């Protein structure tokens, strides 16, 4: 076992600890995601040496041409290329119908050379497309975003080894692990219950044996609930809503929020903040993720992890035949 | 809106309330399940009058010949007959293989005259059968036990209108509704995280907008967690583990436990108790379910409800064609 200090050095947890500590140790997602990506690159190289020419393969399916989607996709393709994953973009025009999108999904499902398929959301089509029908048409074995009901059902019922875990909560767990704080037996509080952050985060913490409380917009006593959290994960989508004085002394605070607020001191006139009021929370937390540079960079890294995992499962199935 | 007293009279919540109350109001599952079954019988009659000769249809698939399974199945078939559901038992010998069981499931999946299929667990076969593969082979549209990953995924992610809810937690919600206590905004605590009780109970309470804490065997401070519950649902499987002094004054206490403990004062030498220590908990709770006669009778009633609901969805689909 590594000491926390050693882990900090290796894995991007920085700051000061001990009895004189007055501010939280920062958990750097930028550094941790690099560690993950380095590990994955080595893993892909190992696979290539075992099976000549083999590469994990990912398809990103885009409908339309949204600027924000283009940016996210290029980040994913770049990360994949650096790791050695063969990632391709399939783009349908914004005139695509639901049937055409489904046909594209089916074609990738049936292509044995592809190990992962994600559909970039939101779908940008002039036609009415039911997003849920598209995400649930993805073969569960290739659903590396983990958003299909089958993968959600497995995760929510504790079948973690046989599913794909959504990338943001999976990244949060990786950051929590970096702190060296044991999850089992702790009281974890999750704020938010979305399909991509809060709900799967609850499941992950629960099946890592924390006692988990889920809070949301209908929770009347949020400060009190937050005050009981040894581990706090916030995916509320409201700028700086969690105040430092709510936070339990020494808690692990993971902030999934990405909110743009106006800031006249910046050239752009705005800046990015999380769902946690950082400068007060870091006075009480034991560990805290910054925004930006915390959870954000982990999401793409965990998508790569799921893709490599899918390729590994594919190779295991091949070997078993 | 009915007053609690009126509801009590109609729906099987009995006991005394008001400032002089010293013991909890008892929530009778026996009486409430009868109300549900009466409602379903009327609903089936209505369906029959709308579509001549139509009856909801349920198949119970049994493998082997366990005494306890035989008893549970006969209870289900009897309840179905009383409501007007056409329920049939398909029994395979204990020499059945996994493939044979899967074939039976597929045959029922493909039979348009059947609206619900449950597989009686545990499977009693001399051959190795992976239970999860059997329950997940059931068509999600006929999975009236709600145990497939697809139905679990929908429930856990808040898609309650488009799924089947497992019968025991669904029955617990019905009992909670009988109390007249609003779930939204309350702090609910669930003890246990099983696939058939705790995990889906968490989901149901969460999507009815309670703040929900899930506790389990790794929770170090169970008395404190229980003490914060406005609504407490216990599915721990340990006789009388929740002590009355833990319970918050006025809480709704739902006990899913069925435990046999020795009792020399009984002719059988034993008696059935729940997971809650009833005689101390009813001194503090506002409402409490007895064991037996609480959650138990609700489970079969809710299986019938799911079957009728499945038949209704079938009719709606027919009408839409």
The per-residue pLDDT for range A244-274, each reduced to its tens digit, is 999 999 999 999 999 999 999 999 999 999 9
Same domain, B185 and B286: yes
Lookup: tokens for A142: 């290739």
Task: Please state the rounded mean pLDDT for residues B128-156.
Answer: 98
pLDDT at residue B16, as a whole number: 45
CB pair distance less than 8 Å for A199 and B157: yes
B102 domain-assigned: yes
Nearest by CB to residue B213, choosing from A199, A209, A212, is A212
Q: Please write the tens of the pLDDT for every residue from A127-179.
A: 999 999 999 999 999 999 999 999 999 999 999 998 999 999 999 999 999 99
pLDDT at residue A7, as a whole number: 47
| Residue whose C-alpha is closest to residue A55's, from A316, A312, A319 | A312
pLDDT at residue A265, as a whole number: 96
Same domain, B128 and B218: no
Same domain, B97 and B202: no
A237 domain-assigned: yes
Q: Which residues form the domain of B182?
A: 4-28+166-296
**Best of B132, B143, B153 to mutate (most A CBs within 10 Å, chain A):** B153
Same domain, B107 and B193: no
Same domain, B211 and B292: yes
Asked if residue B14 has pLDDT above 60, the reply is: no
A318 domain-assigned: no
> Where do the DSSP E strands lie in chain A?
13-14, 25-27, 57-63, 86-92, 116-119, 187-191, 211-215, 231-234, 252-255, 259-262, 270-273, 287-288
Whether B186 is a known active-site residue: answer no
On whether the CB atoms of residues B253 and B24 are closer than 8 A, the answer is yes
Same domain, A20 and A116: no
In whole numbers, what is the pLDDT of chain B averaged over residues? 94
B37 domain-assigned: no
Same domain, A122 and A175: no
Task: Please state the rounded mean pLDDT for residues A297-318.
Answer: 96
Provide the number of structural domains found in chain A. Answer: 2
B9 domain-assigned: yes
Q: Please write the tens of the pLDDT for every residue from A183-232.
A: 999 999 999 999 999 999 999 999 999 999 999 999 999 999 999 999 99
Q: Which residues in B have their CB inside 8 Å of a CB on A? A: 132, 148-159, 184-185, 187, 193, 195, 199, 203, 206, 209-216, 218-221, 225
A191 domain-assigned: yes
Lookup: tokens for A118: 């994600």
Cis amide bond preceding B52, omega within 30? no
Q: What are phi and psi of B91, to 5 degrees?
A: -115, 125
Domain of B110, CATH number, reads 3.40.50.10860
CB pair distance less than 8 Å for A152 and B148: no
Catalytic residue among B76, B142, B154, B186: B76
Q: Please write the tens of the pLDDT for every residue from A19-64.
A: 455 799 999 999 999 999 999 999 999 999 999 999 999 999 999 9
% of chain B beyond a pLDDT of 90: 91
**ipTM field:** 0.93
CB pair distance less than 8 Å for B216 and A209: yes
**Could you identify the residue written with the tokens 């493998």?**
B63
pLDDT at residue A321, as a whole number: 85
Same domain, B91 and B204: no
At A300 the three-state DSSP class reads helix
In whole numbers, what is the pLDDT of chain A averaged over residues? 94
B39 domain-assigned: no
Q: Please write the tens of the pLDDT for every residue from A49-108.
A: 999 999 999 999 999 999 999 999 999 999 999 999 999 999 999 999 999 999 999 999
pLDDT at residue B17, as a whole number: 47
CB pair distance less than 8 Å for A153 and B158: no
CB pair distance less than 8 Å for A150 and B151: no
Same domain, A284 and A171: yes
Same domain, B59 and B24: no
Domain of A218, CATH number, reads 3.40.50.720
B258 domain-assigned: yes
Return all residues near A265 (Cβ < 8 A) that are at least 6 apart.
Answer: none
């Amino acid at each position: 076992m590594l000491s926390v200090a050693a882990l900090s050095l290796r894995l991007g947890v920085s700051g000061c600890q001990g009895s004189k500590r007055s501010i939280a140790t920062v958990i750097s997602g930028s550094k941790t995601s690099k560690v993950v990506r380095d590990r994955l690159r080595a893993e892909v190289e190992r696979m290539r040496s075992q099976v000549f020419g083999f590469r994990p393969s990912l398809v990103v399916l885009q409908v339309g041409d949204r600027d924000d989607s283009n940016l996210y996709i290029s980040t994913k393709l770049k990360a994949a290329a650096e790791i050695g994953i063969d990632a391709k973009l399939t783009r349908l025009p914004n005139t695509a119908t639901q049937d055409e999108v489904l046909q594209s999904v089916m074609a990738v499902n049936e292509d044995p050379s592809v190990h992962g398929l994600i559909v970039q959301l939101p779908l940008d089509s002039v036609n009415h497309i039911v997003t849920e029908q598209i995400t649930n048409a993805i073969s569960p074995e290739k659903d590396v975003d983990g958003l299909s009901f089958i993968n959600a059902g497995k995760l929510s019922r504790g079948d973690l080894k046989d599913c794909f875990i959504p990338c943001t909560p999976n990244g949060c767990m990786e950051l929590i692990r970096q702190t060296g704080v044991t999850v089992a037996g702790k009281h974890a509080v999750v704020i938010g219950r979305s399909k991509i952050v809060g709900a799967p985060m609850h499941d992950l913490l629960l099946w890592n044996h924390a006692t988990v409380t889920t809070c949301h917009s209908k929770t009347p006593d949020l400060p009190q609930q937050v005050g009981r959290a040894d581990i706090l994960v916030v995916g509320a989508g409201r700028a700086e809503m969690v105040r430092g004085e709510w936070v339990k002394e020494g808690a692990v605070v993971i902030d999934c929020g990405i909110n743009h607020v106006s800031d006249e001191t910046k050239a752009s006139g705005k800046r990015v903040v999380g769902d946690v009021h950082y400068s007060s929370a870091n006075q009480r937390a034991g560990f805290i993720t910054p925004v930006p540079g915390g959870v954000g960079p982990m999401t793409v890294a965990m998508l790569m992890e799921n893709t490599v995992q899918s390729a590994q499962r594919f190779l295991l199935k091949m070997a078993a035949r």
